[in-house]
Amino acid sequence: MKIAVVGTGHVGLTTAACLAHVGHDVLGIDDNPEKVDAIGRGEMPFYEPGLADIVRAGLASGRLTVSSDVAQAARFGEVVFVCVGTPTRDTGEPDLTQVDRVARTIAENLDGYTVIVEKSTVPVGTGERLRRTVEVTAPETAEFDVASNPEFLQEGYAIRDTLEPGRIVFGSDSERAVAVLMEVYRPIINRSDCPVIVTDIATAELIKHTSNAFLGMKISFINKIAEICDRTGADVDTLAAAVGMDPRIGRDFLRAGIGYGGACLPKDVKAFAFTSEKLGVDSLLLATIDYINRSVRGRFVERIAEALIDPVDKRIGVWGLAFKPETDDLRNAPALDVVRDLVSMGAVVTAHDPVAMGDAKALLPDIAFADDPYDAARDADCLVICTEWDIYASTDLARLRASMASPLIVDGRNIFEREEMERAGFRYLSVGRPAVGVNPG
């Protein structure tokens, strides 16, 4: 099938490359010509394990091509996936400017029956808005349907999640559109045997926002419980493991830490709260998820400051800047707030991240960067862990301790066992677990 994908962000580029990988002819489109040229040369605009290989293979086979001409989308594809950004404004209101613009360009260039699929995460009602925009812009003879096909991929696992999804959701009131989408996904459904949920557009849109809000709720929930653990000497990791054994609750997304970041959960929780209020449904629960998530970062910094007694001129090493491991994505990364707060308190920060330091240099101009985790911690009064990259968990603790001015670690992701920290002679503060060698903050 001939498929166009508009937008080459995480969702768009992964979708384009994976659909080419399973045998379709795919045109990936982005209105940024430099980005398109780079992708055409096989250079990835962001770090995602395995993506470069699959994109390069698609380009080499000719099944994946790229263009910066959005008008090509409807002319090329029987199906056009809209994967452009849907940022939120400060109020939480989703900004649908890019979706609207792309919808108009698709409409002006419709050529034969086309299924226009919204894949970006959007508030409920956007599919209907897309349909109306296309309807008023397209020539009267144009034949099209609109569908929603929300994406559930996690950064760092984008290829796996796309080729072996846990579920596929099609929202449309057109049987013809659903049949076309079935054909698009047939190779993926066959190889992964995943369930397909066919529903109306509004339900599909809500499935996505509900999923991300629920994940955010689990994280904020456990982070609040971690605060109670900190006051009582209980251990949140043991607690979460036991609570998660109940299949009604589930083990995943109960890792206490410094909260969720990234391009999706923070934005989607806020957008869902905004939409809910707009529909006349109070957003207390959703707003509280966001409130807790923002407050855990501040609380973490307070605990670092308390452990240092006075952060002014203290040397702090920071491990991990990306919002989670296996990505270079710094959007809404808790580490950015933590580092900025520490700097504003007068601390001298040196940071390390295995892949996110390039972009971080522009965002954190007041700190130093080290190419090696041990160098970031050298002569430090405190080491702060913000992202649970695997390389940090396999640290040579004796070497680390010897290089630091003071053996204090404040771990925002609970990557170490308390006993191993005690044995290695560290003062160790983590999240929701009793402190080692220092009074709990």
Work out whether 260 is an interface residue with ligand UGA (CB under 6 A). yes
Considering only residues 152 through 171, tell me which ones interact with ligand UGA, judged by CB under 6 A: 152-155
Tokens of 400: 């680390």
Comparing CB distances to ligand UGA, the nearer of 236 and 264 is 264
User: Minimum distance between the CB of residue 86 and ligand UGA, rounded to whole angstroms?
Assistant: 10
Binding piece for ligand UGA, criterion CB under 6 A, among 101-109, 130-138, 149-157, 394-402 = 149-157
- Longest CA–CA separation in the chain, Å: 76
Out of 212, 283, 395, 430, name the contact with ligand UGA by CB under 6 A.
212
Which residue is catalytic, options 18, 264, 382, 386?
264
Comparing CB distances to ligand UGA, the nearer of 94 and 407 is 94
Out of 127, 261, 373, 407, name the contact with ligand UGA by CB under 6 A.
261
Work out whether 264 is an interface residue with ligand UGA (CB under 6 A). yes
Q: Are 146 and 201 in contact (CB under 8 A)?
A: yes
Out of 28, 92, 262, 317, name the contact with ligand UGA by CB under 6 A.
262
Helix 10-21, helix 51-61: angle, nearest 10? 50
Burial bucket for residue 404 (CB in 10 Å: 0-12, 13-18, 19+): buried
Distant-in-sequence contacts of 237-244, Cβ < 8 A, 24+ apart: 237/414, 237/432, 237/433, 239/432
Q: Among 144, 152, 205, 150, which residue's Cα sits nearest to residue 180? A: 144
Binding piece for ligand UGA, criterion CB under 6 A, among 63-71, 147-155, 361-369, 419-427 = 147-155
Work out whether 151 is an interface residue with ligand UGA (CB under 6 A). yes
Binding piece for ligand UGA, criterion CB under 6 A, among 57-65, 136-144, 198-206, 260-268 = 260-268
Report the alpha-carbon angle 416-419-423, nearest 5.
105
Comparing CB distances to ligand UGA, the nearer of 9 and 441 is 9
Taking residue 313's Cβ as centre, other Cβ atoms within 10 Å add up to 9
Work out whether 385 is an interface residue with ligand UGA (CB under 6 A). no
Work out whether 255 is an interface residue with ligand UGA (CB under 6 A). yes
Three-class SS of residue 428?
A: strand
Comparing CB distances to ligand UGA, the nearer of 123 and 311 is 123
Comparing CB distances to ligand UGA, the nearer of 314 and 324 is 324
Considering only residues 215 through 234, tell me which ones interact with ligand UGA, judged by CB under 6 A: 215, 219
Phi, psi for 5 (deg, rounded to 5):
-125, 120
Work out whether 30 is an interface residue with ligand UGA (CB under 6 A). no
Out of 142, 180, 181, 254, name the contact with ligand UGA by CB under 6 A.
254
Q: How long, in residues, is the chain?
A: 441
d(Cα 212, Cα 273) in Å, to the nearest integer?
12
Q: Are 129 and 96 in contact (CB under 8 A)?
A: yes
Comparing CB distances to ligand UGA, the nearer of 115 and 265 is 265
d(Cα 313, Cα 145) in Å, to the nearest integer?
61
Task: Convert 136-152 to b/e letters by CB count within 10 Å (16 or more is b).
Answer: eebeeebebbbbbbbbb
Tokens of 334: 């808790």
Contact string 306-345 vs ligand UGA (x = CB under 6 A): -----------------xx---------------------
Work out whether 123 is an interface residue with ligand UGA (CB under 6 A). no
User: Minimum distance between the CB of residue 221 and ligand UGA, rounded to whole angstroms?
Assistant: 10
Q: How many residues of this chain interact with ligand UGA, rule: CB under 6 A?
A: 21
Work out whether 373 is an interface residue with ligand UGA (CB under 6 A). no
Binding piece for ligand UGA, criterion CB under 6 A, among 25-33, 248-256, 271-279, 391-399 = 248-256
Tokens of 97: 């400017």
Comparing CB distances to ligand UGA, the nearer of 169 and 364 is 169
Burial bucket for residue 82 (CB in 10 Å: 0-12, 13-18, 19+): buried
Owner of token pair 């580029």: 13
In what order do the strands lie in the sheet containing 368-369? Answer: 368-369, 348-352, 315-319, 382-385, 408-411, 427-429
Comparing CB distances to ligand UGA, the nearer of 77 and 156 is 156
386 as an active site residue: the answer is no
Binding piece for ligand UGA, criterion CB under 6 A, among 171-179, 250-258, 340-348, 349-357 = 250-258
Work out whether 81 is an interface residue with ligand UGA (CB under 6 A). no
d(Cα 275, Cα 387) in Å, to the nearest integer?
31
- Residues with catalytic roles: 264
Residues that bind ligand UGA (CB under 6 A): 121, 151-155, 212, 215, 219, 253-255, 257, 259-262, 264-265, 323-324
